[in-house]
Structure 1
Amino acid sequence: MADADFPKIRPANAVLPALESASATDIPGRLRAAADLISGRIVFTTSFGIEDQLIAHHISSERLPIDVVTLDTGRLFPSTYNLWQETEERYGVRIRAFYPDAHAVAAMVADQGINGFYYSKDARLSCCHVRKVEPLNRALAGASGWITGLRADQSQQRSAVSFADLDAERGLVKIAPLFDRSRDDVAAECAELGVPINELHAKGYLSIGCEPCTRALQPGEPERAGRWWWETDNARECGLHVGADGKLVRSVAA
């Protein structure tokens, strides 16, 4: 896909029609379309889940001009850190980490305890904000595009996810190249390409976040039931993809 086919377009909301009209259905083609169409810095945030590993594989294999970063909350599984190392060595890259502010973490722990997030949803959201949302804001500062591993069938909360949308709060284009893929689709492509994945996926951890906030699924449970399992509502998000109203951030026109 050449630059001549998809000229650079600004501002962010103007690029959406061109992205939506891009005919690519394969993941590399979608990523190339994003790289061709979006002016400025594009950031891919990986949590080293199976979706993100597939996207990272294509970014590295296609040598696309997309920054790959991660949010190291300080409470990830040991297997996630091992996979981080394996991914860097496999693709010959360095994945830049963004960390929570040490003073903010110290103040939060002093206020609610080391595992205070178990006692109220407000405390849990506060922890997610300190460890994830604020570092994400720094990772995306000055970026024009944000690539994520969201899929529409991950949860009811995410059912409206599309390929390209406008994150109006951050003023950038948000791309979900796997939006129409099932988990089985992603797993099959990873197996075919030999993409390294977290060993916990084979142990029932379909969605992997921080260690104290993630458990393996029970038979018949939906994909994200293992995240913040002690909470009773179904809108289990950490705040990375939702606005102040708790709903998925999408453009008004979508």
Structure 2
Amino acid sequence: MTTVSSNANTLASADELSPRLEALVQGTRALLERAVLDYKDVVYSNSLGAEAMVLTDIMATYAPEIEIFTLDTGRLPDETLALLDRLERRYQRRIQVFSPDASQIEQYVRENGINGFYLGLEERQSCCHIRKIEPFRRAVAGHKAWVTGVRREQSAERAHGEQIAWDDRYGLWKVSPMLEWKEEDVWAYIKARNLPYNPLHDKGYPSIGCAPCTRAVEPGADPRSGRWWWENPESRECGLQPRRRVIPIKVEPRRAVAP
């Protein structure tokens, strides 16, 4: 992956958007405004990734009624936590933080070790459930719709997404206003609006999650290949996004912790 500096400099000036970007922004704005009109109580699950910087900026401008929250798994990189602080200062609004249940974390570590997610697929998904799924359920409970920043080009699974769809797992509507955005569009907007972003993106991290489960990728590689890289590509999701098919046979546990 090229760094944002070289990627964005060639795509947009600092004071204007291209016609394509303007059309994407207006499409995203229209969908967010429609969601607020239709569902009233809408929340945004801010991943603190590059797409999140775009959505946060558009919401602050056109849909400030949407509540924003994020998940602190307890294993996030320092750079990610610093970015959260920068966002709150820039937009002068508090982003609600949801954390995992401490007792569940303690039990998981007792049974699997501090880095037990390397042992196998079941152990890793159990960790994601405790650190992400359970806090997410608490965050969206009682709301009518939630917003996500997924894009079609991120994976074959996400390519089938719909802009508005009923989410059976959480019992509310799911709104995906960035499905048609390309990676270059995201970085062009960040550059044009001079938005903050995670500096790890400049070090080859296109997708950033928990520190021990994320690594840099080579330029041109699948952007998601740096997440849970020790697993088969078919299983590399945390569970927040739905899957259209059953995950293949479980990865055999490895009883030595990966380096």
TM-score (norm 2): 0.82
- CA distance in 2: counterparts of 1:222 and 1:37, whole angstroms: 36
- CA distance in 1: counterparts of 2:92 and 2:131, whole angstroms: 27
Q: In the TM superposition, what is the alpha-carbon distance from 1:246 to its structure 2 partner? A: 4.8
- CA distance in 1: counterparts of 2:60 and 2:91, whole angstroms: 7
Partner of 1:27: 28
- The one-character-per-residue Cα deviations of 1:161-190 (angstroms, maximum 9, x if unpaired) are 121111022221101110111111111111
Partner of 1:21: none
- CA distance in 2: counterparts of 1:213 and 1:87, whole angstroms: 24
Unaligned regions of 5+ residues in structure 2, if any? 1-24, 248-259
- The one-character-per-residue Cα deviations of 1:85-115 (angstroms, maximum 9, x if unpaired) are 0000001011000010000000000000000
- CA distance in 2: counterparts of 1:235 and 1:156, whole angstroms: 12
Change (3 A) 1:147 1:109: same
Structure 2 residue identity aligned to 1:67: E
Q: In the TM superposition, what is the alpha-carbon distance from 1:232 to its structure 2 partner? A: 2.3
Change (3 A) 1:135 1:246: farther
3-state SS of 1:159 partner: helix
- CA distance in 2: counterparts of 1:115 and 1:241, whole angstroms: 23
- CA distance in 2: counterparts of 1:98 and 1:146, whole angstroms: 15
Matches within 5 A, 1:119-158: 119-158=119-158
In the alignment, structure 1 residue 229 sits paired with structure 2 residue 229: yes
- CA distance in 2: counterparts of 1:194 and 1:54, whole angstroms: 11
Q: In the TM superposition, what is the alpha-carbon distance from 1:244 to its structure 2 partner? A: 10
Partner of 1:36: 37
Which one is further off, 193-202 or 87-96? 193-202
RMSD: 1.8
- CA distance in 2: counterparts of 1:169 and 1:102, whole angstroms: 24
- The one-character-per-residue Cα deviations of 1:219-247 (angstroms, maximum 9, x if unpaired) are 33111000001112333100111269657
Percentage of pairs with the same residue: 40
TM-score (norm 1): 0.84
Matches within 5 A, 1:152-191: 152-191=152-191
Q: In the TM superposition, what is the alpha-carbon distance from 1:81 to its structure 2 partner? A: 0.6
- CA distance in 1: counterparts of 2:224 and 2:244, whole angstroms: 21
3-state SS of 1:240 partner: coil
Q: Is the contact made by 2:157 and 2:244 (CA closer than 8 Å) also made in structure 1?
A: no
- CA distance in 1: counterparts of 2:244 and 2:123, whole angstroms: 16
- CA distance in 1: counterparts of 2:244 and 2:171, whole angstroms: 15
Q: Is the contact made by 1:35 and 1:64 (CA closer than 8 Å) also made in structure 2?
A: no
3-state SS of 2:224 partner: coil
- CA distance in 2: counterparts of 1:25 and 1:86, whole angstroms: 25
Matches within 5 A, 1:1-254: 25-39=26-40, 41-242=41-242, 246=246
Which one is further off, 144-153 or 188-197? 188-197
Change (3 A) 1:64 1:101: same
- CA distance in 2: counterparts of 1:244 and 1:123, whole angstroms: 22
3-state SS of 1:143 partner: coil
Unaligned regions of 5+ residues in structure 1, if any? 1-23, 248-254
Larger RCO, structures 1/2 (Cα 8 Å, 6+ apart): 2
- CA distance in 2: counterparts of 1:233 and 1:161, whole angstroms: 18
Change (3 A) 1:63 1:165: closer
- CA distance in 1: counterparts of 2:244 and 2:109, whole angstroms: 23
Which one is further off, 228-237 or 148-157? 228-237
Q: In the TM superposition, what is the alpha-carbon distance from 1:218 to its structure 2 partner? A: 1.6
Q: Is the contact made by 2:145 and 2:172 (CA closer than 8 Å) also made in structure 1?
A: yes
Q: Is the contact made by 1:157 and 1:235 (CA closer than 8 Å) also made in structure 2?
A: no
- CA distance in 1: counterparts of 2:194 and 2:32, whole angstroms: 19
